[in-house]
Amino acid sequence: MDFSTLTLSILIGTVGGFLGGLFGIGGGVAIIPLLTLTQGSNPHLYQAASLVAALLVSAGSIPRHIRAHAIRWTFALRTIPFSIATVGLGIAIGIYLPNTQWLEWIFAAFLIYVAISEVIHRLREKPAERKSPLLAERMGWGPASIVGSAMGTLSGLLGIGGGVIAVPMMSAVNRFDIRTTIATSAFLVLPTVIIAVILKYLTLSSVKTPAGDPITMSAALWLAAALAPGAFVGAFIGASLVHKLPMRKLSFAFALLCAILAIRMSGIVTFK
């Protein structure tokens, strides 16, 4: 890895970490498209590296959320078994897709979903309703199974922490406020990604680059090491801002970023 690539990877890790800490996601939703934009198509390599970075994003943000007493521990502990049980399913689906380009198309479609759901949620959000006893938080096993299964499957399939699906789902299914949602999602990412990292690296020999070359564990670990410092620092800063900045405006900015990255991932615009 040359100096310019190393520097760019550190910056990408910082951006991903910051967004991960700020929105309770693993950071892969930004890291993977940005790596694709700057270094070309190699989805399985980027997934493997991004999952390691997601560990640092979660580790960097969790302490801030604990101090703010914002994590819903009962729901989180009920959700974890479902998320880690379904990670392998997502990875298996990714391995048997006929073309790695499919992963980028799926990711692009998913980013569009995130952008649209985020905008719709913010437009409909009414603070007075969130405090109403009619909208009491739901923390039973049913919501836990729904959120955890979706989170684990998407984490394995797309190489992300899974928080990017957990955040909009918890807002809708659990009726958590935005800060509680972000904090709980940040915690859920950690055990989900630990399992995803183990399974992803065990199956690296089963996948290849778009050019047909084998993907080595050392290549993935070197890229992960370049992403990691920025991811940790960015996550700490992002998580610190969660409890200070106006989330409505930040959510619209996040939706716009997702839409731009989706256009790039789909191949509609190449941004040469």
Higher pLDDT, 268 or 46: 46
Question: Which pLDDT score, from 0 to 100, does residue 132 have?
Answer: 46
Flag whether 272 is in a domain: no
The reply to whether 271 falls in a domain is no
Domain range spanning residue 230?
3-266
Beta bridge partners of 208: 214
Residue 119 confidence (pLDDT): 79
Tell me: the pLDDT tens digits for 111-138? Answer: 787 778 777 766 766 654 444 444 577 8
Q: Is residue 201 assigned to a domain?
A: yes
pLDDT band of 106, cuts 50, 70, 90: confident
Is the pLDDT at 269 greater than 60, yes or no? no
Percent of the chain with pLDDT over 90: 24
Cα(150)–Cα(121) distance, integer angstroms: 19
Contact 231, 108 (CB under 8 A): no
The reply to whether 19 falls in a domain is yes
Task: Report the chain's mean pLDDT, rounded to a whole number.
Answer: 82
CA dihedral 200, 71, 164, 207 (to 10 degrees): 0
Residue 227 in any domain: the answer is: yes
Q: Residue 110: pLDDT above 90?
A: no
How many domains would you assign to the chain?
A: 1
What does the block give as tokens for 4?
């310019």
Give pLDDT, residue 254: 73
Amino acid letter for position 75: F
Q: What pLDDT does 187 receive? A: 92
Q: Is residue 205 part of a domain?
A: yes
Cβ atoms within 10 Å of 58's Cβ, excluding its own: 32
Q: What is the mean pLDDT of residues 232-259?
A: 80
Residue 150 lies in a domain: yes
* Confidence band, pLDDT 50/70/90 cuts, at residue 229: very high
- At position 201, the amino acid (one-letter code) is Y
CA atoms of 267 and 86, how far apart (whole Å):
29
151-177 pLDDT, tens digit each = 898 888 877 777 777 877 787 788 787
Listing DSSP states for the chain in one string gives: --HHHHHHHHHHHHHHHHHHHHHTS-SHHHHHHHHHHHH---HHHHHHHHHHHHHHHHHHHHHHHHHTT---HHHHHHHHHHHHHHHHHHHHHHHHSS-HHHHHHHHHHHHHHHHHHHHHHHHH--HHHHTSGGG----SHHHHHHHHHHHHHHHHHHTS-SHHHHHHHHHHHT---HHHHHHHHHHHHHHHHHHHHHHHHHTGGG-B-TTSPBPPHHHHHHHHHHHHHHHHHHHHHHHHHHTTS-HHHHHHHHHHHHHHHHHHHHTS----
Can you tell me the mean pLDDT for 87-111?
A: 78
User: Has residue 213 been placed in a domain?
Assistant: yes
Contact 249, 78 (CB under 8 A): no
Tell me whether residue 268 is exposed, middle or buried, using C-beta atoms within 10 angstroms of its C-beta: 0 to 12, 13 to 18, 19 or more.
Answer: exposed
